[in-house]
Structure 1
Amino acid sequence: MSVLKRFSAADLIIIASVAALGIAVKPIVGPISKFISTPLGIPGGSLAGGFYMMWLVLAVTIVNKKYTGTVFGILQAVLVLLVGMAGKQGAFSLVSYSLPGIMADIVFHLIKHRHKLITHLSLGVVANLTGSMATALFFFKLPALMVGINFAFATASGIMGGYLAYGTYQALKTARIIK
């Protein structure tokens, strides 16, 4: 548990709260995205994933410490398993939720100016592509053409999620809720 020692109680509360918010909106966003994605033959997560990843991006940029994304991803995976929201993925949720957090951590700590729009967009895209591609390739085993379509939707959705995260981050800063 030495990774958790890096975080203050306030950091862990932020991570847990934002992770819970991300899980709470799934029942609302999920059916809407599946309505659009199912006829296209792509997993709904690639389309709605950017919105889901918005919460990951927020946690990573607000807390601004190593392993925030990883802790966030593992926590969300455990939460969806505990509350029965893993759906068809089941235990694979541990992978599909944790990998985007790990990738977000890597990218975030490679970027010099961490609170700019490009950072939020990059994190949204990388996290959503990671989760979407892991699911498409290893769980759904989509054919190459569908993986390409999934890639395009996941990229666009990741950009939108990054943009939403940036707007939310800026609003929280303006309201002096975060530093």
Structure 2
Amino acid sequence: MPYRANMWALRALGVRRVFAPCAVGSLTSRLGPGAVVVPDQLVDRTRGRADTYFDSGGVHATFADPYCPTLRGAVTGLPDVVDGGTLVVIQGPRFSTRAESQWFAAAGFNLVNMTGYPEAILARELELCYAAIALVTDVDAGVDVGEGVTAADVFASFGENIEMLKELVRAAIGRVAPERTCTLCLLHAGVELPFELP
């Protein structure tokens, strides 16, 4: 997936805030299919993905809190939304083994998916406010005693919940003030960059 090109294109089009709906597996039995979670942390378990625009130069992005608190608040203030959780991002395209899923759960991670990284850090480098909106489509293999998740399960669950997710995103957009106030996402004030932001 061309993560860098996609995020750059959004910035070039004038986008400054990104709600990122995504399908996730749950690593806990308390979050079943249909739950909506706004994670506040992520763990990168991917490899080889281009995850910076700063291939040269010494620009170091602040990333202790990977998601924009202003955008997160716009979503978490809505009914039936779970506030917080750690999203572990795996390489894919395969799903986790039971052992991996149990390992992630034992580490305290709540959700697993394949696309949440490097989007979040690329957004930060481009000074885009970014928040993930995670739709639980399945309970991961190490939590569920069944056969394990299939792509068909994920697509079916996502399809069943897509209208609800669209309504939630529309409602969240309506809760965002016109002016940006998030200083966390304005990374480059006074920093000389090796390129010009679009």
Q: Normalising by the residue count of structure 2, what TM-score does the alignment of the two structures yield?
A: 0.31
Structure having the higher Rg: 2
TM-score by length of 1: 0.33
The answer to which structure has the higher strand fraction is: 2
Higher helix proportion (structure 1 or 2): 1
